[in-house]
């Protein structure tokens, strides 16, 4: 298992959402399940984490002059940690 201090718990405020269907190759799905198990999170939670992280990175890269919407910036700060006294 992982070091308990390695991962910070992230709490998101419920927001309007839409369900989408996603086909994932079986080998990739097996890898995702293994990673979720090691991180002690659900597959659903891991997928949400990955989408959120990649979205913030792409948003910053594609729209460098625009501020990332505050809800994404807030989640990024909580996920990455501020580094000082968290």
Structural domain total, the chain:
1
Is 11 among the domain residues? no
Tell me, yes or no, if the pTM score tops 0.85: no
**Residue 8 confidence (pLDDT):** 60
- Both structure tokens of 41: 């999170």
The range of the structural domain enclosing residue 63 comes to: 26-80
| pLDDT for 52 | 87
pLDDT score at 15: 77
Rounded alpha-carbon distances, angstroms, from residue 62 to 48, 68, 76, 79: 21, 11, 17, 21
Report yes or no on 7 lying in a domain. no
Residue 6 placed within a domain: no
Which regions of the chain are under pLDDT 70? 1-12, 70-86
CA 72: distance to chain centroid?
10
pLDDT at 77: 54
pLDDT at 74 (0 to 100): 54
């Amino acid at each position: 298992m992982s070091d308990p201090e390695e991962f910070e718990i992230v709490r998101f405020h419920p927001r309007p959402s839409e369900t989408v269907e996603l086909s994932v190759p079986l080998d990739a799905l097996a890898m995702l399940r293994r990673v979720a198990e090691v991180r002690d999170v659900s597959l659903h939670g891991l997928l949400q984490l990955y989408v959120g992280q990649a979205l913030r990175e792409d948003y910053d890269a594609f729209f460098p002059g625009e501020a990332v919407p505050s809800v994404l910036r807030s989640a990024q700060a909580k996920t990455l940690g501020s580094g000082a006294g968290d």
